[in-house]
Amino acid sequence: MQPINTALCSYGMSGHVFHAPFISVNPNFNLYGVLERTKNEAQKRYPNIKIFRSLESMLADDSIELVIVNTPNVTHYDFAKKAINAGKNVIVEKPFTASVAEAEELIQLAKAKNVIISVYHNRRFDSDFKTVQKVLKDGLLGTIVEAEIHYDRYDPVLSYKVHKETSTPGVGSIYDLGSHLIDQALVLFGMPLAVSADLDAFRPNSQVGDYFNLHLFYPSHRVILKSSYYVREALPGNIFHGTKGSFIKTKADVQEQELQSGKLPNSKDWGTESTKDQGLLHTEIDGKIIKEYIPTLKGDYMEFYNGMYDALRHNKQVPVSAEEGMNVIKIIEAALKSDKERKVIELS
């Protein structure tokens, strides 16, 4: 079956680290072109691709079947809308959009144009998250009472990327790192009943949020999502407590590090964590107390692209639906409202 001709809307870190390597080694895809307005960085790595100098010229190319919108957050809605109107299938980098209204419009437009749209929530395919999913699916902790997921960094210096530090819609850690954690929580537990949030900016002269503490309220348990740029000694990224036991695991997925070092996703032992980062399971099974480190599943962002191929060629469900991407934005909007009004926001 013919490979899917795919084009990237930019070739910054997202393009050359998180997308191009997977497209280039997957025989079901063809990295056809990249939008670079002045440079030719992508062509240095992939000599056979086409370089486009404008979004309009790229979208006018009938050979392109799939467009990846991996531009700054504030442009996601506009770029995706233009790609859909051009009849292209679309992957939008997280966060899907800056608002629920924008997300709803894109979903309806994609239906009207009969094209597929998906959101690149790649952290669903992290090694630690896949392992957490298995622990919960196997019922090793009993009924979950509390879950806490962190995505912390020690990075007090403002980014050189101006668009990341400018107070515009869709910008700030709640959209960038927060969208990862929110998506993981929704995959595990579905939509909560209510949201409470504390958001702030602690870096000197920061115009955008770099700290958040979200509480998601469910009928039988609570979920806490936290991130700060001032964590030099990180706590475990995954802390799950249930009626039978606990599971504690670092955020140690190696894929981003491997990609930045130039390793390709079809390499041997791709996505394999060090055994020193295995999670601790302390629980009760068949009346026996168990306290042991358990093997970590392999991470693999290629699962997303394999899912996209099945969606485009075999009419399967996309790996991440646009509706799921919109639900993340619903939580973010509720968090922003909660922080502003200093109260718990109930979700309809």
Residue 319 located in a structural domain: no
- Whether 162 and 41 map to the same domain: the answer is no
pLDDT at 58: 98
- Whether 78 and 139 map to the same domain: the answer is no
* Mean per-residue pLDDT of the chain: 97
pLDDT at 1: 79
- Whether 59 and 83 map to the same domain: the answer is yes
Residue 232: CB atoms within 10 A of its CB come to 8
pLDDT of 343 above 90: yes
Domain boundary (67, 101, 120) is at: 120
- Whether 139 and 102 map to the same domain: the answer is no
Q: Are 29 and 6 in contact (CB under 8 A)?
A: yes
Work out the pLDDT band at 264, boundaries 50, 70, 90.
very high
pLDDT of 243 above 90: yes
Residue 23 located in a structural domain: yes
CATH code for the domain of 111? 3.40.50.720
pLDDT of 49 above 90: yes
- Whether 213 and 158 map to the same domain: the answer is yes
- Whether 237 and 144 map to the same domain: the answer is yes
Work out the pLDDT band at 320, boundaries 50, 70, 90.
very high
Domain boundary (120, 138, 172) is at: 120
- Whether 150 and 181 map to the same domain: the answer is yes
Residue 77 located in a structural domain: yes
**Phi and psi for 16 in degrees, rounded to 5?**
-85, -15
pLDDT of 250 above 90: yes
pLDDT of 77 above 90: yes
Residue 305 located in a structural domain: no
Domain boundary (86, 104, 120) is at: 120
- Whether 12 and 26 map to the same domain: the answer is yes
Q: What percent of the chain shows pLDDT beyond 90?
A: 97
Average pLDDT of 139-154? 97
Residue 317 located in a structural domain: no
- Whether 26 and 155 map to the same domain: the answer is no
pLDDT at 246: 98
Q: How many domains would you assign to the chain?
A: 2
CATH code for the domain of 182? 3.30.360.10
pLDDT at 348: 83
Specify the higher pLDDT residue, 148 or 234: 148
pLDDT tens digits, 273-314? 999 999 999 999 999 999 999 999 999 999 999 999 999 999
pLDDT at 165: 92
pLDDT of 155 above 90: yes
Domain that holds residue 293: 125-299+331-346
Residue 112 located in a structural domain: yes
pLDDT at 163: 87
- Whether 138 and 252 map to the same domain: the answer is yes
Residue 314 located in a structural domain: no
pLDDT at 234: 87
- Whether 64 and 145 map to the same domain: the answer is no
- Whether 154 and 290 map to the same domain: the answer is yes
